[in-house]
Amino acid sequence: MTGSASAALVAPAKINLFLHVGPVQADGYHPLASLAVFADVGDRLTATVSDRLSLGVQGPFGGELAGQDDNLVLRALEALGRATGQGAPPLALTLDKQLPIAAGLGGGSSDAGAALRLARDLLRLNIDDAALAEIAARTGADGALCLFPRAAWAEGRGERLTPEPRLPPLHAVLVNPGVLSPTGAVYRAYDADPAGEADRPAPPADWSAAAVIDWLVKARNDLEAPALRLAPAIGAALDAAAACPGVALARMSGSGATVIGLCADAAAARDAASALAAAHPGWWVRACVLNG
């Protein structure tokens, strides 16, 4: 429609600085504890008021999603339509998919969160943040977290969120070796030999970037070992990131396959990204700021 309102949002990558996971419960869910942040890299979602709901996908990783009827963006907006009683929101959306798929970056949940916010604003829907968060939570464990991207402690199934305003910006390099690490498969591998608990560590006494990194060294990602068993290439990415001189801590994010390398400053992150991209031209590598 010519002259229709449109808007765009970046759907940022979600990073788990640590991820403590307990054994599966009777309801089939795993309790967890995590401190999650968002990077200044991500997908981009554009929405235009139209006569019906539609979604086009482009970008370097768009081909892997093209034609999927079960995309989290569509699922979230259809749930919004049911909640408001107004049917599927009449929006034409374009997703520029810049983040790898099945990468432990919450890309689908972040895309869905951006779509819900765009729909509410463009269509002037009378729905508050709490109700929107309930809809977002239906898209998956990261849904509510990714609706309003900000640093937060996540507990329970991931839906119990506590904002963490003390966390400083952290410089990092993100490294993905180009393999898929589907969440369901990783959790099944974890269940075969559960080795963690959903314990939330006491926060650091000092919230400077260097002290936070030192504190994170004592934490862990309980899905890292099972993910490495399924996709050994993640181990290669971990080793390569850890070997960069400016990387103080290398750890897998979420259920993988992306590795985060935390660095002292922006120059160290850029240098690590340059070295990794040169040594592994087939990998996806980005310098970024977390919680910036």
Q: Which parts of 16-164 fold into alpha helices (H)?
A: 72-84, 107-123, 129-137, 143-147
Catalytic residue among 43, 142, 222, 271: 142
Q: Which parts of 153-265 fold into alpha helices (H)?
A: 183-192, 209-217, 224-230, 233-242
Tell me the β-bridge partners of 153. 35, 162
The rounded distance, in Å, linking the Cα atoms of 126 and 105 is: 30
14 is known as an active-site residue:
yes
Quote the tokens at residue 290.
Answer: 């977390």
- Provide the 10 A C-beta neighbour count for residue 203: 14
Quote the tokens at residue 36.
Answer: 């999650």
Catalytic residue among 14, 43, 111, 271: 14
Q: Which residue carries 């003390």 as its tokens? A: 166
Tell me the β-bridge partners of 221. 19
The rounded distance, in Å, linking the Cα atoms of 232 and 30 is: 24
Residue 96 identity? D
Q: Of 138, 95, 113, which is closest to residue 38 (Cα–Cα)?
A: 113
The rounded distance, in Å, linking the Cα atoms of 59 and 42 is: 11
The rounded distance, in Å, linking the Cα atoms of 240 and 272 is: 10
DSSP state of 18: E
Strand 6-21 relative to strand 32-49, pairing: antiparallel
97 is known as an active-site residue:
no
Which of the residues are catalytic?
Answer: 14, 142
